[in-house]
Amino acid sequence: MNTTRGLSCLAAVLAAGLTLQCESHPEAPESGVEHRPSFARHPLGTTKDSVALTGMPFAVAVSQYDVGLNDGVVYVAQLTNGTIAKTTLPAETFTTFSIGSPTDPSQVRISPNGQTAYVNDQYSKKVKWVTVATNSIFDSVAFAKSPLNIGLSPNGTRLYVLTDSDGVYVLDALSSAQQDHIAVTTTGYILSGVAFHPYMLRMYITPRDSGKVLTFNTETDAFMQTNRVTGSRIQNVAVSRDGTQLFATDIQNSKLLVWTLLSNGLPNGSPQTYAIGATIDSAFDVAVTADNQQLYVGALHTGNVYVLDETTRSLINTIPAHGRPRYIAFDWPGGIAVIPNESGWVNFIH
């Protein structure tokens, strides 16, 4: 378990010349506050721009805060090109840059201040640190097994590296120093999804093929609870902006799974389930709009993106993205959804 977080955080901040408060609960945002701008909204869903992009566009991150030229930066990981495509909203024209060779980037995250991006590379078994302003790699960490996904704590101080068969590595997001390792005997295999509670010290991960969601205390990295759904393969997870609901996609049965989160941040009992298209649709990602009013769920088989009411889960809209839509992200105000499609384009939903 963790022994170095406080000192490593302070050292990294001083070395980088950043202004950041290191606390005993370093990843906890302000308790009880919904983390969304007062002007938050959701896409109207009436306009869909499709921008061609090669290399199997897969994962996406959008910078969330007004930090100089980094406001509204979009990074899209191109799985087979070993490159990252970049644009700055409202523009939808991409430029690309390499993250080295051989590569297989399947996830990308951007720090809350918009200055640093983190890219996992399954092929080389590394996670790389990128300066967003210059698109230059300035650090990397190698692992024994392939990193399948990465999660960034809500305030950007810790990076969680989810592997295929070696558990979760906890890194200092500033210095890249390892702070902890959660063993595979605790996490299971094929760790595909990760999400964080917006104001409690909780992380939710999914060992996909075991049909479980695991909850961890991110102060101690201690395992807390398993919620199992028999017959499912849980691909991705998301938490409502107010911290009251946990959403997950069952890719096996193309369902949305919904748990109520208790006052301690633990999912309560068995989930409510909602069909996403037909059983063969293969629901992949779920994302919550900035205003906490809608859910976007992408389906791999039909290429549809289903828009649901966040409270009732009733269907509001079906957006024919076509191809195979992968991860979903929103800009900070929430009026634009950015959805990479591995069939060779990126959708911007307005």
Residue by residue, DSSP assigns 306-331 as: EEEETTT--EEEEEE--S-B---EE-
Confidence class for position 100, pLDDT limits 50, 70, 90:
confident
Q: Per mean pLDDT, which range of 23-32, 172-181, 194-203, 238-247 is the poorest? A: 23-32
Q: What angle do CA 189, 194, 198 make, to 5 degrees?
A: 155
pLDDT value at residue 101: 74
Confidence class for position 315, pLDDT limits 50, 70, 90:
very high
Decide which of 347 and 3 is more confident.
Answer: 347
Q: Is the peptide bond before 198 cis (omega within 30 degrees of 0)?
A: no
Confidence class for position 8, pLDDT limits 50, 70, 90:
very low
Does 12 score more than 70 pLDDT? no
- Do 93 and 85 contact (CB within 8 A), yes or no? no
Nearest to 31 by CA among 174, 172, 205, 202: 202
- Do 126 and 119 contact (CB within 8 A), yes or no? no
Class of domain 40-349: mainly beta
Does 350 score more than 50 pLDDT? yes
Locate tokens 């945002």: which residue?
Answer: 29
Per-residue pLDDT of 275-306, as tens digits, reads: 999 888 999 999 999 999 999 999 999 999 99
pLDDT value at residue 278: 87
Does 105 score more than 70 pLDDT? yes
pLDDT value at residue 70: 56
- Do 326 and 284 contact (CB within 8 A), yes or no? yes
Tell me the C-alpha distance between 165 and 194, whole Å: 16
pLDDT value at residue 65: 62
Mean per-residue pLDDT, 166-184: 98
Query: Assign residue 119 a region: left if phi > 0, alpha if psi is -120 to 50, beta otherwise?
Result: beta
pLDDT value at residue 11: 39
Does 55 score more than 50 pLDDT? yes
Amino acid code (one letter) for 102: P
Confidence class for position 102, pLDDT limits 50, 70, 90:
low
For residue 23, give every residue at least 6 positions away whose Cβ sits within 8 Å of its Cβ, in sequence order, or none.
none
Tell me the C-alpha distance between 321 and 163, whole Å: 30
Tell me the C-alpha distance between 74 and 61, whole Å: 6
The CA distances from residue 270 to 226, 230, 277, in Å, are 11, 10, 22
Confidence class for position 14, pLDDT limits 50, 70, 90:
very low
Burial of 306 (0-12, 13-18, 19+ CB in 10 A): buried
End-to-end CA distance of the chain: 44
Mean pLDDT of the chain: 89
Report the predicted TM-score, pTM, of the whole model to 2 decimal places.
Answer: 0.89
Amino acid code (one letter) for 171: L
Mean per-residue pLDDT, 63-85: 82
